[in-house]
Chain A
Amino acid sequence: MNSQSTSAHHDQSIRRFIRRLALLLAFRESLTFVTVWCFLWGAVALVLRAASVTTRRQLLWGAIGIAIAAIAAAVVSRRRLPSRDSVRALLDSRNDCGGLLMAGADADLGVWRTPEITSPRLRWRKARAFGLLAASSAFVLISLLAPVRFAATGVARPMDVSREVENLSAQIEALKEAQVIEEAKAEALEQKLDQLGQEASGEDPAKTWEALDHLNDAVEKAAKEAAEAADARRERLARAEALAEGLMAGGDQLDSKTMTEAMRTLGEMTRKAVKENESLAGDLSPETLEAIKSGSLKAEHLKDLSKALSQSKSALNQKLSKLSKSGMINSNALKGGAQANRRDNSGLARFLKENAEKMSVDEATLQWCAGKGGVDRGRGDAAMTWTDGSSEKDARFKEKVLPPSSVAGLNDSQLVGLSASAPTADTSGVAAHGALNSAASGGGSAYTQTILPRHRGAVRRYFDRPQPK
């Protein structure tokens, strides 16, 4: 190998080392720059999201900065590259050339030959750099993906009450569907609900919750009032139905006066029911409607009327059942309930006849529908009286002998109060008095000792007698 080829080989080694170093430095600088950029990006994203200035999609444009940072790092890393002379000096030093390799750059070496050049290894402690990069990347992800309520720190920080608003909205919708509240009232409630959802602020959550509670109360109150009104309508329908069924079943038992009053009363009830229940008019045939107006209801008219009233009542029952299932009303609290649905009205005519002199047909029907009463309690509106109270004469507690320990306990006891109940004997607290308390009758043992399982072997061995061989 001549001098020129040696020199070329050295130059190649130097170039190769510089290239390796450049790649390493560029990668390292890129990591550093990207790490710094990620921290910056994350911080800016966090601030902008907190201020609600921009959207998440817009913030994703920051990813372009990673490429820019990497390019800038590559440019900056070139400035850190050592000169060729420095690398030549490094190779000279590491290969023990004694200055010969360095001299080759400026002077003719003649017949001198440098030893085989080996490039030193580059070592990069990269754990810290990668750790920081991972941390910065995580920071960016958290900044971009975290829910905005965690990031929002501005003055207009909203409060998430969407679930509560949805619940209330569903309740109002259910009331509307059931037609138990008026359209205007439902709209007013919905408007208030929308306003509350928009104005809910995290700065003063108590105010928002109070407003929600207030609205909830208003909805519940409206539902309750509407349900009570519906129940009243249902009751009136039930009375009209009862009267119609009663007249249909036993109208021939009534005298003409009572019959005329009953027909008039049924007509009034029906007209009122038609006014209150729009669907009822559609269920009635024109002949029946005409007969109601003229007060000359016949058997077929009464049948038609009874059927229509029953249908209207069923429709109301369904609405109330829906509200009850949605939890907005308590069906048990309504006066009508199941009682209004299952009633045998065949005896109403006889009841009217019996009370014709005492009350009007309307009042009699009301009393009939209020309930015939149970076996032992009378009608629903009957007064409650208590007679023949039980006597305490000759009433005594059953005597019971207490165990000695309890007597001893009573001697030292102190009165803290009296109760009307019989005393109970507590046998669990028997005192172990006496030396022979635990002695077995007829046995030779005067004392027993509980032996722990782990000691039993030792005790048995102690008492074992050697068997004579």
Chain B
Amino acid sequence: MAYGICDMTETILQPEEITPPVELANKALAELDRILLGRSELHRLVFAGVLSRGHILLEGLPGVGKTALVKALGGLLNLQFNRVQFTPDLMPSDILGAHILQENHDGRRAMEFHPGPVFTNLLLADEINRASPKTQSALLEAMQERSVTLLGSTRPLPDPFFVLASQNPIELEGTYPLPEAQLDRFLFKLNVTGADVETLDRIISTRRRGEPPAPNFVMSGEELRWIFSGVDRVFLPRPVSRYISRIVAATHADSDEAIDEVRDYVGYGASPRAAIAMAEAARAYAFLSGRPTVGFDDVKAVASPTLNHRLVLNYKARFDGVSSLSIIAKLIGRMDETGIKLPRDVQIEA
């Protein structure tokens, strides 16, 4: 065996093992679709991100339902949920917590740690780009290490821990764009777009003041961990892992498989963390489809939200109005997933 993964799962998940957790996850997903109308694919990706135990950055105009989505997800999962409204004067201690001098019952004073809102299972970082870089950086360790270190002592965060951040792509005055190091820590960057006419009609005709209904089903932490264990056992075949590696490598201009758009517009490609994130997200996506193995289509489905925020485009791309999403779409479209290199005049047809 070339990879340790195979050693871990010598027998892939059998139907009787995968079906119950998948049904539970899809039940939660269906409930999310019921609460928030018209965004099934976005919900699926958010849920895949959650099952991958990754952090998600939601980007969209005000009022499109970013916060509502996170709140609905928090209500659906029976987890501790905190919301922080990021503002320019927000300090790191406002998120992480602080040591406060307090007098105990015997009259002695001591520094006592008061945990901040980060000590939760699901943290909604609303309008994260309005906070200063110092405050944004306070989340770096929490997101990556899932722990907080203050005054030399490291405190682990509850398990599971997710950050679901939102940001507004307009009103850039007085905002601080997220640094690449922090962006890289988000599993997905999902664009939340406006609803179509049909959805809007359903919202205003069925929802008073647009308030979503209360969830009829709540998933416990134990159930979520059970689902996690199922996702962990989804088998990643070697050709698929190689496909992921090739995609990530091809986002670099100096790669053999880089397309012209990458060479022209991408300053810095995706990191190895992107490959890991894509593999995990693809597992979760395959799991939600009830499959015990990851296929190429799962990778294609999660490639855009995984790489979207990880490509650093150059000024030429901005000048030509080229977006990361369009480059990724072309890259995925032109790359043969099997890696079979045939002469140009020989083609494999279905």
Interface residues of A (CB under 8 A from B): 24-25, 28, 80, 82, 85-90, 92-94, 97-100, 102-103, 105-112, 120-126, 128-129
Q: Lowest 8 A-B CB distances belong to which pairs?
A: A99-B293, A102-B237, A89-B239, A99-B295, A98-B295, A82-B340, A103-B293, A108-B11
CA of A25 to CA of B345, assembled, Å: 11
> In the bound complex, do residue A28 and residue B346 qualify as a contact, i.e. CB atoms below 8 Å apart?
yes
Question: Which of chain B's residues have a CB closer than 8 A to the CB of A106?
Answer: 1, 6, 237-238
> In the bound complex, do residue A111 and residue B15 qualify as a contact, i.e. CB atoms below 8 Å apart?
yes
Question: Shortest distance in angstroms between A210's beta carbon and chain B's nearest beta carbon?
Answer: 59
Q: When the two chains form the complex, which single residue of B243, B292, B338, B346 contacts A122, counting CB atoms closer than 8 Å? A: B346
A-B contact count (CB 8 A): 126
> In the bound complex, do residue B293 and residue A120 qualify as a contact, i.e. CB atoms below 8 Å apart?
no
Flag whether B347 is at the interface (Cβ < 8 A): yes
Question: Which of chain A's residues have a CB closer than 8 A to the CB of B240?
Answer: 89, 99, 102
> In the bound complex, do residue A124 and residue B346 qualify as a contact, i.e. CB atoms below 8 Å apart?
yes
Question: Which of chain A's residues have a CB closer than 8 A to the CB of B292?
Answer: 100, 103, 112
Question: Shortest distance in angstroms between A95's beta carbon and chain B's nearest beta carbon?
Answer: 9
Question: Which of chain A's residues have a CB closer than 8 A to the CB of B337?
Answer: 89, 93
Contacts A98-B291, A98-B297; A86 near B345 (Cβ below 8 A):
no
Q: When the two chains form the complex, which single residue of A97, A108, A122, A125 contacts B295, counting CB atoms closer than 8 Å? A: A97
Contacts A98-B286, A110-B12; A28 near B291 (Cβ below 8 A):
no
Specify the chain A residue showing the minimal Cβ separation from B18. Answer: A112
Flag whether B343 is at the interface (Cβ < 8 A): yes
> In the bound complex, do residue A108 and residue B10 qualify as a contact, i.e. CB atoms below 8 Å apart?
yes
CA of A124 to CA of B12, assembled, Å: 38
Question: Which of chain B's residues have a CB closer than 8 A to the CB of A94?
Answer: 348, 350
Question: Shortest distance in angstroms between A372's beta carbon and chain B's nearest beta carbon?
Answer: 98
> In the bound complex, do residue A107 and residue B12 qualify as a contact, i.e. CB atoms below 8 Å apart?
yes
Q: When the two chains form the complex, which single residue of A25, A86, A103 contacts B235, counting CB atoms closer than 8 Å? A: A103
Interface residues of B (CB under 8 A from A): 1, 6, 9-12, 14-15, 235, 237-240, 243, 286, 289, 291-298, 337-343, 345-350
> In the bound complex, do residue A80 and residue B338 qualify as a contact, i.e. CB atoms below 8 Å apart?
no
> In the bound complex, do residue B347 and residue A92 qualify as a contact, i.e. CB atoms below 8 Å apart?
no
Question: Shortest distance in angstroms between B43's beta carbon and chain A's nearest beta carbon?
Answer: 21
Question: Which of chain B's residues have a CB closer than 8 A to the CB of A108?
Answer: 10-12
Question: Shortest distance in angstroms between B18's beta carbon and chain A's nearest beta carbon?
Answer: 10
Can you pick out 20 interface pairs between chain A and chain B where the beta carbons lie within 8 Å of each other?
Answer: A25-B343, A80-B342, A82-B340, A86-B340, A87-B338, A89-B239, A89-B296, A92-B237, A92-B296, A98-B286, A99-B293, A99-B296, A100-B292, A102-B239, A103-B237, A108-B10, A112-B14, A121-B349, A123-B346, A125-B346
CA of A82 to CA of B345, assembled, Å: 16
> In the bound complex, do residue B345 and residue A124 qualify as a contact, i.e. CB atoms below 8 Å apart?
yes
> In the bound complex, do residue A107 and residue B291 qualify as a contact, i.e. CB atoms below 8 Å apart?
no
> In the bound complex, do residue A90 and residue B348 qualify as a contact, i.e. CB atoms below 8 Å apart?
yes
CA of A82 to CA of B237, assembled, Å: 17
Specify the chain B residue showing the minimal Cβ separation from A81. Answer: B340
> In the bound complex, do residue B349 and residue A120 qualify as a contact, i.e. CB atoms below 8 Å apart?
yes
Question: Which of chain B's residues have a CB closer than 8 A to the CB of A107?
Answer: 6, 9-12, 235
> In the bound complex, do residue A99 and residue B294 qualify as a contact, i.e. CB atoms below 8 Å apart?
yes
Contacts A99-B286, A103-B293, A107-B6; A90 near B338 (Cβ below 8 A):
yes
CA of A90 to CA of B345, assembled, Å: 18
> In the bound complex, do residue B12 and residue A103 qualify as a contact, i.e. CB atoms below 8 Å apart?
yes
Q: Which of B11, B12, B243, B296 has the most CB of A within 10 A?
A: B12
> In the bound complex, do residue A80 and residue B341 qualify as a contact, i.e. CB atoms below 8 Å apart?
yes
Question: Which of chain B's residues have a CB closer than 8 A to the CB of A126?
Answer: 345
Question: Shortest distance in angstroms between A99's beta carbon and chain B's nearest beta carbon?
Answer: 3
Contacts A80-B341, A89-B239, A123-B349; A110 near B11 (Cβ below 8 A):
yes
> In the bound complex, do residue B296 and residue A93 qualify as a contact, i.e. CB atoms below 8 Å apart?
yes
Question: Which of chain B's residues have a CB closer than 8 A to the CB of A120?
Answer: 348-350
Contacts A103-B293, A107-B235; A123 near B15 (Cβ below 8 A):
no
> In the bound complex, do residue B1 and residue A102 qualify as a contact, i.e. CB atoms below 8 Å apart?
no
> In the bound complex, do residue B345 and residue A100 qualify as a contact, i.e. CB atoms below 8 Å apart?
no
Question: Which of chain B's residues have a CB closer than 8 A to the CB of A112?
Answer: 12, 14-15, 292
Question: Which of chain A's residues have a CB closer than 8 A to the CB of B6?
Answer: 106-107
CA of A122 to CA of B243, assembled, Å: 22
CA of A135 to CA of B291, assembled, Å: 54
> In the bound complex, do residue A102 and residue B346 qualify as a contact, i.e. CB atoms below 8 Å apart?
no
Question: Shortest distance in angstroms between B301's beta carbon and chain A's nearest beta carbon?
Answer: 12
Question: Shortest distance in angstroms between B295's beta carbon and chain A's nearest beta carbon?
Answer: 4
Question: Which of chain B's residues have a CB closer than 8 A to the CB of A109?
Answer: 11-12
Contacts A85-B238, A89-B338; A102 near B293 (Cβ below 8 A):
yes
CA of A313 to CA of B348, assembled, Å: 96
CA of A99 to CA of B1, assembled, Å: 17
Question: Which of chain B's residues have a CB closer than 8 A to the CB of A124?
Answer: 345-347
Question: Shortest distance in angstroms between A390's beta carbon and chain B's nearest beta carbon?
Answer: 99
CA of A37 to CA of B211, assembled, Å: 77
> In the bound complex, do residue A111 and residue B338 qualify as a contact, i.e. CB atoms below 8 Å apart?
no
Q: Which of B10, B238, B243 has the most CB of A within 10 A?
A: B238
Question: Which of chain A's residues have a CB closer than 8 A to the CB of B294?
Answer: 99
Question: Shortest distance in angstroms between A39's beta carbon and chain B's nearest beta carbon?
Answer: 19
Question: Shortest distance in angstroms between A292's beta carbon and chain B's nearest beta carbon?
Answer: 101
> In the bound complex, do residue B14 and residue A102 qualify as a contact, i.e. CB atoms below 8 Å apart?
no
> In the bound complex, do residue A25 and residue B350 qualify as a contact, i.e. CB atoms below 8 Å apart?
no
CA of A103 to CA of B296, assembled, Å: 12
Question: Shortest distance in angstroms between A11's beta carbon and chain B's nearest beta carbon?
Answer: 16
> In the bound complex, do residue A100 and residue B340 qualify as a contact, i.e. CB atoms below 8 Å apart?
no
Q: When the two chains form the complex, which single residue of B14, B238, B343 contacts A110, counting CB atoms closer than 8 Å? A: B14
CA of A128 to CA of B296, assembled, Å: 34
Q: Known A-B contacts: A89-B338, A107-B11. Give 12 more (CB < 8 A).
A: A80-B341, A82-B340, A82-B341, A85-B239, A92-B239, A98-B297, A99-B295, A107-B6, A108-B10, A108-B11, A110-B11, A123-B349
